[in-house]
């Protein structure tokens, strides 16, 4: 590893002051599960490393009137153990539970998963399906709030400025009756990274028609996004088996449009279609 | 932070004892345990979080010591395999591993034992699925896991 200086800030203000001065030459470290391998390979060569897990206001999960706030250094284990999250966002908790093995879940954080912006991330696409928003803070500009969907610019690149810290993740409460599911596909090997995943959110109205649908496949696109063409196909309609079958084809087409034709020749298309149909069926039984 | 570019004093607790050691900011917890504190029961393998042979318990939770910077462990309590049992007073898990033939080359064993310990502390009677999940961050190239799982299941029998 190239030499760097390590700074352990005592407060949010201390951390923001540090970045205001040295942000361009610094890297934030939370759980370090992405950063430390990068430092070891010297893919990243910061002069300073700013340690944020000890900053208490960055931890925990809070319920507000219309939303939830998740601290950026909340670990996957803490997300999985949170009754509050499990009750309100089961699919998000399933995505956190799918990460790595226990040692990685004990260290890896929700903020690190977003800020690293890996195309293979699991929790990032689930958050996207939930319409997550990010709270960013800097000394110069104070707080700003942006939708997660606008924060990831390209693989491993976010719109965060070098003096900014991701200080919170905001999730609006889902409307009553919203059902959700997350699944990671392919080989059932705990440590296998870059396995395709799928998050679905579904709500029906009193006529049993789809009134809300969000579909986000993960670990397949350079930058995860909602499959709005497929979503629109089902909106306002009764989710009959034939329509779901047709929607699964549209979903596959939409994926190929984003990822390029080569993707379709792989095993992934039939897998994605089947998992989509199965998850829809499961959500409709509930 | 020390102004000099050199080493920084790290204070933590290892296996119940207060430890003070001068460390370089680039060192991992694994390096400090093995090379500064000479606690070589914690093994060095892939150094990228995949194999789990470097597993230790930090403030009650398992971590890969190769993926924690030493200075991130300031004021923390670390538990290594050296703290689990002694040669004449083995931990029940260690006895069970021996009884069930769960140790072959032994390279994965320290990390495996600590993952098993952390699992049993949270869940005294885990199901087969829960055991598999609990040790899914620890690879064993010799035993094929069956004997390890038996040893964990039968630790109190
Ligand atoms: C063996 C192994 C298995 C893994 N398995 C999975 C998996 O199954 N699924 C998955 O999604 N990921 C997986 N990962 C990747 C990794 O664990 C996750 O991406 C994790 O969320 C990273 O969080 P961290 O706290 O460790 O981030 P760090 O490594 O500390 O930081 C990652 C990046 O984010 C930046 N950053 C962190 N926090 C902030 C903040 N608050 N504000 C601004 N920038 C910030 C850092 O500067 C750095 O660039 C795996 C990693 C390993 C080593
Ligand atoms: S050496 Fe740490 S996980 Fe392999
Ligand atoms: S006993 Fe040899 S790796 Fe597990």
Interface of B with A in 125-154 (CB under 8 A): 133-139
- Minimal-distance CA residue of chain A relative to B4: A5
Please tell me the distance from the alpha carbon of residue B26 to that of residue B18, in angstroms, as a whole number.
Answer: 22
Residue B5: predicted pLDDT: 59
What ipTM is given for this predicted complex? 0.96
Interchain contact A146–B (C-beta under 8 A): no
The alpha-carbon gap from B86 to the nearest alpha carbon of chain A, in Å, equals: 25
Q: How many CB atoms lie within 10 A of CB A198?
A: 27
Residue A110: predicted pLDDT: 98
- Minimal-distance CA residue of chain B relative to A75: B61
Residues carrying CATH 1.10.150.120, chain B: 92-153
Residue B150: its H or E element: helix B146-153
Place of tokens 């579909």: A215
Measuring CA to CA, which residue among A30, A13, A176, A18 is closest to residue A112?
Answer: A30
Q: What is the block-wise mean pLDDT of chain B (157 residues), using blocks of 10 residues?
A: 71 98 98 98 97 98 98 98 93 97 97 98 96 97 94 92
- Candidates A32, A102, A188: best to mutate against B (most CBs of B within 10 A) is A102
Please tell me the distance from the alpha carbon of residue A261 to that of residue B103, in angstroms, as a whole number.
Answer: 49
Residue A278: its H or E element: helix A268-285
Residues carrying CATH 3.10.20.30, chain B: 8-83
Residue A188: predicted pLDDT: 52
pTM: 0.96
Ligand nearest to the CA of B45: 2
- The three-state secondary structure class of A243 is helix
Q: For residue B126, list chain A residues with Cβ-Cβ distance below 8 A.
A: none
Half-sphere exposure of A136 (CA within 13 A, CB side): 22
Please tell me the distance from the alpha carbon of residue B7 to that of residue A90, in angstroms, as a whole number.
Answer: 45
Instruction: List CB contacts of B77: < 8 A, sequence separation 6 or more.
Output: B12, B13, B16, B58, B59, B60
- CATH superfamily for B8-83 is Beta-grasp domain (3.10.20.30)
Domains and CATH numbers, chain A: 179-284 (3.30.390.50)
Residue B67 CA: nearest ligand 2 atom is 2
Interface of B with A in 52-111 (CB under 8 A): 52, 55, 61-64, 66-69, 71-72, 74
- Candidates B57, B64, B108: best to mutate against A (most CBs of A within 10 A) is B64
Distance A117 CA to ligand 1 centre (A): 9
B51 lines ligand 2 (CB under 6 A): yes
Residue B21: its H or E element: strand B17-23
Interchain contact B25–A (C-beta under 8 A): yes
B64 lines ligand 2 (CB under 6 A): yes
The three-point CA angle B113-B115-B121 to 5° equals: 100
Residue A188: its H or E element: none
Return the best residue to mutate from B46, B108, B112, B136 for the ligand 2 pocket (most ligand atoms within 8 A of CB).
Answer: B46
Measuring CA to CA, which residue among B124, B25, B64 is closest to residue A8?
Answer: B25
Please tell me the distance from the alpha carbon of residue B112 to that of residue B106, in angstroms, as a whole number.
Answer: 10
- Minimal-distance CA residue of chain B relative to A54: B72
pLDDT digits (tens, 9 = 90+) for A58-84: 999 999 999 999 999 999 999 999 999
Please tell me the distance from the alpha carbon of residue B80 to that of residue A197, in angstroms, as a whole number.
Answer: 35
Compute the Cα dihedral for A20, A25, A28, A29 and give only its sign: negative
Cβ contact (<8 Å) for B67 and A37? Answer: yes
Please tell me the distance from the alpha carbon of residue A187 to that of residue A113, in angstroms, as a whole number.
Answer: 22
Residue B3: predicted pLDDT: 45
Phi then psi for residue B136, to 5 deg, are -70, -15
What CATH code would you report for B92-153? Answer: 1.10.150.120
Pairing of β A197-204 and β A210-218: antiparallel
What Rg do the C-alpha atoms of chain A give, in angstroms?
A: 19
The CA distances from residue A37 to A124, B8, B47, in Å, are: 20, 22, 8
Residue A11: predicted pLDDT: 98
Cβ-nearest to A103 among B24, B28, B64: B64
Q: What is the residue-level pLDDT of chain A in tens, covering all 286 positions? A: 899 999 999 999 999 999 999 999 999 999 999 999 999 999 999 999 999 999 999 999 999 999 999 999 999 999 999 999 999 999 999 999 999 999 999 999 999 999 999 999 999 999 999 999 999 999 999 999 999 999 999 999 999 999 999 999 999 999 999 999 999 986 555 445 568 899 999 999 999 999 999 999 998 889 999 999 999 999 999 999 999 999 999 999 999 898 887 766 677 888 899 999 999 999 998 6
């Amino acid at each position: 590893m190239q030499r760097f200086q390590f700074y352990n800030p005592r407060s949010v203000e201390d951390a923001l002051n540090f970045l205001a001065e040295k942000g361009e030459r610094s890297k934030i470290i939370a759980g370090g599960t992405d950063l430390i391998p990068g430092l070891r390979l010297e893919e990243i060569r910061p002069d300073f490393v700013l340690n944020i897990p000890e900053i208490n206001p960055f931890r925990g999960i809070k319920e507000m009137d219309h939303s939830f706030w998740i601290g950026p250094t909340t670990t996957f284990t803490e997300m999985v153990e949170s009754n509050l999250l499990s009750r309100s966002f089961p699919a998000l908790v399933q995505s956190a539970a799918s990460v790595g093995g226990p040692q990685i879940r004990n260290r890896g954080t929700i903020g690190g998963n977003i800020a690293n912006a890996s195309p293979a991330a699991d929790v990032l696409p689930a958050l996207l399906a939930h319409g997550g928003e990010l709270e960013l803070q800097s000394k110069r500009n104070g707080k700003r709030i942006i939708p997660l969907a606008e924060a990831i610019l390209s693989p491993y690149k976010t719109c965060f400025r070098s003096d900014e810290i991701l200080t919170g993740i905001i999730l609006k409460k889902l409307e009553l009756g919203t059902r959700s599911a997350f699944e990671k596909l392919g080989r059932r090997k705990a440590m296998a990274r870059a396995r395709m995943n799928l998050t679905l959110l579904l709500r029906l109205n009193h006529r049993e028609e789809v009134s809300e649908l969000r579909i986000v496949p993960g670990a397949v696109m350079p930058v995860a996004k909602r499959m709005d063409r497929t979503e629109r196909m089902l909106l306002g309609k009764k989710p009959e088996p034939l329509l779901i079958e047709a929607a699964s084809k549209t979903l596959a087409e939409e994926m190929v449009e984003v990822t390029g034709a080569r993707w379709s020749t792989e095993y992934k298309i039939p897998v994605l279609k089947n998992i989509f149909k199965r998850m829809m069926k499961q959500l409709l039984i509930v | 932070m020390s102004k000099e570019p050199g080493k920084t004093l790290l204070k933590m607790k290892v296996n119940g004892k207060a430890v003070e050691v001068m460390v370089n900011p680039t060192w991992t917890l694994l390096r400090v345990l093995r090379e500064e504190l000479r606690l070589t029961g914690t093994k060095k393998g892939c150094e990228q979080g995949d194999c789990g042979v470097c597993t230790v318990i930090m403030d009650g939770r398992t971590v890969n010591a190769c993926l924690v910077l030493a200075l991130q462990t300031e004021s923390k309590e670390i538990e290594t395999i050296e703290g689990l049992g002694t040669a004449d007073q083995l931990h029940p898990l260690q006895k069970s591993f021996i009884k069930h033939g769960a140790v072959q080359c032994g390279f994965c064993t320290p990390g495996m034992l600590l993952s098993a310990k952390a699992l049993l502390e949270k869940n005294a009677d885990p199901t087969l699925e829960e055991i598999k999940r609990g040790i899914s961050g620890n690879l064993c190239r010799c035993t094929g896991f069956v004997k390890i799982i038996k040893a964990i299941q039968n630790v109190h029998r």
